[in-house]
Every structure is written in C-alpha cells, then in structure tokens.
Structure 1
C-alpha cells in the first residue's frame, strides 16, 4: 500500500487554463465591441476590462485549486486508486490486470519541473479517451509507478512488492530517426491539405466577424485581372501550407525512438511536446506497412501496428516506425515480433482484373470532365487531366493488389492512394468476408475483407482477386481446418 499522493501544484494552472480556453474568444469579442461602442464613460472603459479579467481569474482559479486539492492517487491491493471531484468526491479504482500501459507526455511547462502527463490505457477502454489521466506527476514517480505495476502483475506474490524492490527494466533501441530521415518525412508528410482544411474550418466559425464578402469581391477582381495571377496566388498558398506541414511534422517526429522494454514496445517522440507511448507486444493484432506515392519511389515506408485495448486519439499513436527503407523492416522488427513474416511472397491479382480497376474510374471522371468542360468552357477542358490521373491510379491499384498465406499469417496488399500491406495472424483475425458481385462473377473474381480487433476495429480489403484465391483464404480461416504452409507453394 502507498500513501495518497497529489499531483504537482502546477496542475492548478493547467486546470485554470482549461477554463480560460473555453471563454477566451467570447471575452476578446466582448472587449472589442466594448472598446468601440459609443457613449461609454472613459473611466468605465479603462477599468471595466481589468475588473472583468480579475473576477474571471478568481472564479476560474478557485475551482482549479479545489480540484487539485481533492485529486489524489495511490496503489493499494493490486489497484491504482484515484479520488477526485470538485464538489462531489468520486473514486476510480483500476485493477492492475486491466492496465495495459502508462503513456507519458511532456509539454513545455512540464520540462522545467521534471514532470510528465500520465495517461492510463486499459483493456477494453474507450476508443476516444484514456481510462484516467494525471496531468502533472514527477517523472521519477511516474516511472516508479509504471515499474511497480509491471512487477506486481508479473509477481506471484504482488502484495510484498514495494517501490524500492522494483528493478529497472531492460531495454534496447530498435530504431531511432536520423536527421536525414526526419527532414525526408517532414518534406513528404502530405499534410498540406490538412492544414488548408483546418484554416478553412477555423475561418468558417467567424462568418460574422471576418468580412468574407469583401474578400470574395477582391478575389473577383483578381480573377478578372487574369488567371495567371490567380494561379500564382494559389501556388503561393499551397507552398505556405506545405511549409507549415513540414514544420508540424518536424516538431511531431523529432527524436522519434522505438525501444523494446521487457514485453512492450515503447515509443518516444516530439520536440515541443515529448510523448511516450507504450504498446504491449501481446496486444498487437496486425502490422501495417504503408508506402505513400512520395516515398515509395525511394524505397521508403512507414510501419504501424493495430493493437487491442488502446485509447487511440490520433492516427500516429500506433505508428512505430515513421520512415525506413522497406527492405530492412524485417531486420529491425524480426527479433521482437518473431511470429511475423515481413517479406511474404505476394500472389498478385490476375490480368483479367486490370479492366475492373480502370473502368469505373474512367467513367466517373469522364462524366466530371464533361460537366466541367460545358460549365467552364474552354478552361474546363483541362479537367481531362483528371481522367489521366484516375487511370494511372487505377493501374497502380491493380499492380498493388494481392495476398499471401504463410503458415498462420495472412497478408493483404492493396492501394487507395498509399499502398498498404497488412500482416495478420489467424488467431487475431475477427472476421473474413468474401463478396462476389455480378460483374466479378462473370470474370471469376472476388473481393476479400478482413477485420482485427483494435482501438478502431481496423479492416483490410483487397478487390478483384481470383475467386479460387478468395475461397482459399476463406477456407484457410475457417476453424478446425488444418492447412499446409501455402508460402512454400
């Protein structure tokens, strides 16, 4: 049993900041309107904002202090026990058996004080949030708590385990990003579209404040001045969005390190915010190798894992290698993830499937091109480039499609924009679905979709493979049927 402990006092500032964040925009708008309103007494105008801010700090600071004062945590009877609540005291007891990992992150305000934010991940937890979060804990205490829980779970007599008796876990580095790789992944992150979408989404919240009508009137003048000028402005905007995405990726993946610690994969990354993510190896359901159009020509790929019992709040949480030469993935992970074959022999889709990948895309974009050509004649004719682009994409999707069965492992390879290669063990697959539509039936083709249990119940699907191959996958997965190692066929 350990004595109840409180979080670091800086938690008061964090709690108050959360409250301020929710009201900051309305306050700023109020001050803007108040300052320019006619008929307001000058002295009142001078003192009113200060009084409002002072009152706000008191109203937000007092609850933040009480929340910190009433929040305690301790370890007792194989449980992490947390008590909290502003007015009503709540208790949350989390058994060690349910705790999958303690993930750490460090913000800028954490580092000077040697603090970390602790996120408790549990089996069967909510997909959108952790079971519990402790916003400011001494790093040494967090590490000791993590080791204590791990040792207690592995010990036959956990009641006699104390923090002093816990041994430091052995670890080895599997991968550490180099500066060259960091610059490469930042330059090819492809997040410019995400940045632009975020800008438009943010701007759309202020329709009443931002003079969009005036902006579009000016834009019409620019269009009338010439399409060349408009094109230059668009290019400049895309370049700025790309630069922002590069900086964001650089900050996010800086010092990315993958370690194996006992039976866990531990990932640390980030410059401004240092994150530590722990993935229990036994909880890994599938391995996903992703090759983007920007990285595949250079032979690079990224590796992520689907794992159960995770509260994944962003895609990168399952990313274990952000960029690496594809041909050395097996060398890096082979000794740790020994059950997986990283270089299976892929059986490709038949040549008769090629037209299936091209035909639908050609029809869709031909219709789009026709509409745009009529609507924006003659400039709409440039949309014919979409047909070429769609055809090229369809061709690459055909070349990517394939599967492999190697002992107890099923590998599916397919492409949306990025090429995905998903490695799955038979005992981790939740379902295998085989579908045959009318057009596929005539050509002797079928589609296969699988799903594994993870934080997002991830799936993989390959289209237009041979019907016989789809049946082979289905029969391989059916229970009580023993198959030979098809990788040797």
Structure 2
C-alpha cells in the first residue's frame, strides 16, 4: 500500500557513493599531486598516509550512503507525498498534492537495465537551485502510478484506489505527439548548437581547481612572450582548441536531445529526450507564462528555429535550460501547425511594427565606440597584430544593424508579441493575463528622439522575458495603455492566471 513507508531501490547506495566521490575527487587529486613532489624519505607513515586516508574516506562514504538509504522512506497519505530522510537528524517533508506541479523522470545507464527512474518533484514554491524533493531510484511503474494518483487526486479531490498493475505506459506512450525530432534535424541541431563556449568554460573551471599548485602567473607571462613572437602558431592552436570544443559540443547535444519527443497528455506537455540519460519532463499548459521562438545566426538563414517556454513552478535550471525547450529545431513555418493543439490561445504573427528609422544608429553607436577603444588598446599591446581587432569594429556595427532590424512589436487582442535580438533573434508571445508587470521607460537621449523602451516580466524562474529598446514613443505608449488594468476584466485575467487562489 502507498500509505506504508517504502524505501528506494538499493542502487541508491551506489548512486550516493558515486555522487560523493565526484564531490571529493578534485581535492584528492590535488592532494596526490602535491604529495608526488614530497620526499617521503624513510618515514613509513608519510609514505602510506595518503592511501590510509583515502581508505578511511571510502569507508565513511560507504557507511553514510548505506545509512541514508535506510533512513530514506516515502509514502502517500492524506493527499500528501510524505518523505522522511536524514543522515544524523531525521527530516520530514510533507508535500500536499495541490502544490506539486510535476514529477519529472530521468533514467541513467544505471537505472535503465533495472527498470528504475529518478523522480524530481517540482512545486510552485520550489527554489531555483534545487528541487522540492528527489527520489533517486524507484521502479518506473511505481513512479508512473504515483504521478497518475496525484493527477487524479488533484482533479477529483479524493485519493484514488491503488491498482495492482499500474499502467506503466501512462505518460510516455499515450497522448498526442506534437513533435518528434528526426535524425536529420538532430544532426543539424547538434552541429549548430553553439555550445563550444560552454565546453571551454567548463574546462577553464576545472583547471581553476588547480590554481594553487599550478604557477599560472608564470605561465601567463611566458604565453604573453609567445604571443608576441609566434602569433601564427598561437592562432592555429586557438583554432584547434575551438574545433575540439565544437566536436565535444556536437556530441553533447546529440546525446542530450536524442529521440526528443513532445506529447500532449490531457492538459500537460510531456517531453522525453536523451540517449545515455533519458529524461521525462512535464509542463502543465496552464503554468506557461510566455512562448519564445529563437533563431540563431547559423539557423536563421535556413529557416530553422527553436521553441521554448517560460513557466511558473519550475525549480531546476540547467546550463542551457533544456527542460524549457519545447521544440529544439524545426522549420519556423511549421511551428503554428505543430503547437496549435497544445497552445491554442496563441496567435502566431508574421507582420510586425518595427522600430523607427531614426532609432537605427542607437543600436550600434555606443557598442562601436567601446569596441574602437578596445581595438586601440590591443593595437598598442600587440602591435602590429592587434590591428586585426579592427575587424571587430565592423562586426559590432553589423550586430547593431541586426538588432535594429529585429526590434518589433505586435498587439492582437489579449496577446502581445515582442521581437528583439541579443545574438539570436527572439520572438516572445505573451498573453495579457500572464504578464506580471510591464515597464515603459524613457531616458534623456530617447526623450529627445521621441523613443521609448518596453520591458515585460512574467511569473517564472527568470522573471524578465523580453525587452525592446528604442521603439516609437507613441507605439510604446499604446502597448502600455493596452496593459493598464481596467475594471473587472483585469480581475478575471488574474483569477485565470492563479486558478488555485
């Protein structure tokens, strides 16, 4: 019975050990690196102390992992998911069903052969850094049964009777398939994912762990001399590093988004993806605050775009917000057809009101000026090779022109559409009753040119969702007046936004 406390699968012990080792592997590596250059002489204790300490550490990790498994129990009682856990102090966490937004599943290569999943419990009040609760390893059919039980209890207000043979295919096989990535799309997506910078940053962060034992200052000074005398060699070395990082990013994206499928199950969007680690994410449609279509520089010329959402109640943020992606890559013209069944409230517009011509120079003047100063500094420091930075001035100017051409807006009934560009071009669709606040701002320079900035905020993990600068002041005022609350219609919108209240 679900009301009786249950333990997770014993593989939780192994998973906890692996997690603990990952947390201490770098300090241990640094310790051995330092010890390698020490002279143990004839001191037996000094010679064997590292191995003795590691053995004690492994025994401690093994013991604490076993205790955590024994003390971790879960059960369903009185329309609550009740979890008790703790190493030395026992903690109790009771999560009412009405607070649970979704139960997300993930399966690693250790889970899959045993028919297990990791369950992540997301709530409306969950923090941005961690989930409300994690169940590291339970049977997939049991996790599916819990999710179905919670959904039925939330809709009827009563706890349904448990089934002896729960429907294990509840979420993954049923429902309307809105989108499924093809092999061709996956390869194109992986090769244009643009995650090389993330890979390089991760390598730099890892190398930073050894800053205390690696003479970075000396290396930097030597590299500066090499740059001045071997510019071509350094350029080739940088290009090779970027190419390797690109290959790694392609492999990472291919594994992470393999077999990406978007389904509509009742009033929820269910996403499954992953090759080595299979993840299942559930997004309630009523919690979606904004819809975003993004077009990167590499994909826009081919007519491809990706679709993501801002939604309330999420608690997990990964480095690329993968759990918010509805469609990783698709022809832009296909988006309205694919999402019509699941997101029928949205109207996909193609005609927009653009920023006025006199606003054009404001998108590139300041950026170009800053890049000019940087170019002068590089030219002095790395003469004459630093002069190549002049190319960056041209790129900055082009970037500003692209930002100007992207800046646009559109009002249609209760929907506001804003389009802007950072590196990618983003088109954000917002329903009036989902906008938490809308800011209309004018600085001194904009006031002289009769321009203004519009910024919108929604109830999501990020908050701010779209900012369009240097619009016609009259257009920005029209958007602001459209949003202003008026009588009972605004109250109805707020009730629709918070159905539990």
**Structure 1 residue corresponding to 2:322, chosen from 316, 323, 326:** 316
**Given the alignment, which residue of 397, 400, 403 partners 2:406?**
400
SS at 2:378 equivalent: helix
Structure 2 residue 370 is matched with structure 1 residue 364: yes
Q: What whole-Å deviation, never above 9, does each CA across 1:88-134 have from its counterpart, x for those lacking one?
A: 22111100000000001111211121111100001121111111000
Matches within 5 A, 1:213-224: 215-216=219-220, 219=223, 222-223=226-227
Q: How do residues 247-396 of structure 1 correspond to structure 2 at under 5 angstroms? A: 247-314=251-318, 315-396=321-402
Helix, strand or coil: the match of 1:163? coil
Question: Deviation at 1:368?
Answer: 2.3
Select the residue among 456, 460, 485 that pairs with 1:454: 460
Deviations 1:59-98 (CA, angstroms, capped at 9, x unpaired): 2211211111111111111110111122222111100000
Q: What's the offset of the Cα at 1:32?
A: 4.5
Shift of 1:37: 3.6
Question: Residues 373 and 63 from structure 1, CA distance in 2 versus in 1: closer, same or farther, beyond 3 angstroms?
Answer: closer
Judge conservation of contact 1:330–1:343 (CA < 8 Å) in 2. Answer: no
Pairing of 1:220-239 with structure 2 (within 5 A): 222-223=226-227, 225-239=229-243
TM (norm. structure 1) is 0.93
Distance of 2:54 and 2:364 partners within structure 1 = 62
Q: Following the alignment from structure 2 to structure 1, what is the Cα–Cα distance between the partners of residues 480 and 264?
A: 35
User: Residues 132-161 of structure 1: CA distance to partner in whole angstroms, max 9, x if unpaired?
Assistant: 0001111111111111111111125x1343
Given the superposition, is the C-alpha separation of residues 55 and 165 from structure 1 closer, same or farther in structure 2, using an over 3 Å criterion?
A: closer
Q: Normalising by structure 2, what TM-score?
A: 0.90
TM-superposition CA deviations, 1:278-306 (whole Å, max 9, x none): 10001000001111111111111110000
Give the gaps of 5 or more residues in structure 1.
484-489
Question: Please, what is the CA RMSD of the aligned residues?
Answer: 2.3
**Does 8-17 or 394-403 show the bigger shift?**
8-17
Deviations 1:203-237 (A, max 9, x none): 12212333546645664564465322222112111
SS at match of 1:248: helix
Query: Residues 166 and 78 (structure 1 numbering): CA distance in 2 closer, same or farther, change over 3 Å?
Result: farther
Does the C-alpha gap of structure 1 residues 358 and 137 become closer, same or farther in structure 2, counting only changes over 3 Å? same
Task: Name stretches of at least 5 consecutive residues in structure 2 with no aligned partner.
Answer: 491-501
Match of 1:243 in 2: 247
Q: CA 1:379–1:32 in 2, change beyond 3 Å: closer, same or farther? A: closer
Assess, with a 3 A threshold, how the Cα gap between structure 1 residues 362 and 30 changes in structure 2: closer, same or farther.
closer
CA drift of 1:316 comes to 1.5
Number of corresponding residues:
482
Q: For residues 373 and 399 of structure 1, what CA distance do their matches in structure 2 show?
A: 32
Deviation, structure 1 residue 373: 2.9
Q: Is the CA contact (8 Å cut-off) linking 2:411 and 2:417 kept in structure 1?
A: yes
Instruction: Tell me which moved more, 343-352 or 71-80.
Output: 343-352
Q: Distance in 1 between matches of 2:14 and 2:143?
A: 20
